[in-house]
Structure 1
Amino acid sequence: MSHDYNPFENSEFTTILVVSDMAKSKAFYVNVLGAEIFREYGGDSMVLKFLGDWILLVTPAGPTADKPNTYFVSPVDKDSVSHSFTIRVQDCNKSYEILKGRGAEFITPPVVNGAETRCFFRDPDGHLFEISEYRAT
């Protein structure tokens, strides 16, 4: 096997999130987070550009020929997390106030832990987001 070939050359990374209500999720990602809509597909999927990365929102779906026995489902229990996002921000308190003003529902206000200040919020389906400020000591 050659180590010279990069299998991801000229590639981009996309995160797929399964959402139960595309209209609610569209409002959240565009109006609260400020993501840009790149493309929409018939109401059951949408591609967003956010902070230089891609997010693909899809509605629940069953197996396909290339992924048999695989079901796409939105989070079942918002308090059991297997995947989350961290956004490094310059000022956690200011970002918290802005996002809260846009309708983000935070679990707690920002919490200071040493050189880091952070807090968490969820999208309409419970996907977890963290905003985190790190101050060099």
Structure 2
Amino acid sequence: MNEFPAADMELTRLLVVSDVAVSRQWYEHVLGASVEREYESACVLRLLGSWLLLVTGGGPTDDKPDVTFAPPDDPDRVSAELIFRVRDCRSAYDALRSRGARFLTPPVDRGYEIRAFFRDPDGHLFEISELVG
């Protein structure tokens, strides 16, 4: 009998991007991801022990007949984000900015955490967050 989840399973986060090559370069250079595999319209990355799949958009298929994949059409409307828990938010901010990350604001101290947000080339939202105390 199969168990879900099972110990040998892994989770992959899929992001729809407008240009796989541009995004691959950004994820490698800015976030330090490593390329595991590349396909014509997709790229599999490894980042902090997790899988990240970058794909171009596409229309419905037999197994998802009413679903269209598309990159964000409005970066100010977000339904998901990826969060990096860091030891020092300001240091991470400086390191990421030096590699080309564009932040919405400098780190903000909210009392219980210090955090800052940035986007990838297609507008997917990322957060760096340091717990305080």
TM-score by length of 2: 0.96
Cα offsets for 1:7-48 (capped at 9, x unmatched) = 221110001000001121011100000001000012x10000
Cα RMSD between the aligned structures? 1.1
Tell me the equivalent position of 1:20: 18
Q: 2:36 is matched with which residue: 35, 38, 61?
A: 38
Higher gyration radius (CA)? 1
Q: d(CA) in 2 for partners of 1:24 and 1:89?
A: 26
Q: Which amino acid aligns with 1:72?
A: F
Partners of 1:5 and 1:58 lie apart in 2 by 29
Q: Distance in 1 between matches of 2:132 and 2:48?
A: 21
Taking the TM superposition and a 5 Å limit, the aligned residue runs for 1:32-111 are 32-42=30-40, 44-111=41-108
Q: Deviations over 1:87-127 (max 9, x none)?
A: 00010000000000000000000000112100000000000
Determine helix, strand or coil for the equivalent of 2:102.
coil
**Rounded Cα–Cα distance in structure 2 between residues aligned with 1:124 and 1:61:** 18
Report the Cα distance in structure 1 between the residues aligned to 2:113 and 2:21, rounded to whole angstroms.
Answer: 34
For the residues of structure 1 that align with 2:115 and 2:93, how far apart are their CA atoms?
Answer: 9
Question: What is the count of residue pairs matched by the alignment?
Answer: 132
**Cα separation, 2, equivalents of 1:26 and 1:86:** 19
Deviations 1:41-86 (Å, cap 9, x if unpaired)? 12x1000010111110000111111111110000000000001111
SS state at 2:128 partner: strand
Distance of 1:96 and 1:83 partners within structure 2: 21
C-alpha displacement of 1:6: 2.1
Aligned-partner Cα distance in 1 for 2:20–2:4: 33
Equivalent residue letter for 1:82: S
Cα distance between partner residues in 1 of 2:81 and 2:90:
20
Matched-pair identity in %:
52
The two structures have a TM-score, normalised by structure 1, of: 0.93
Aligned-partner SS, 1:95: helix
- Report the counterpart of residue 124 of structure 2 in structure 1: 127
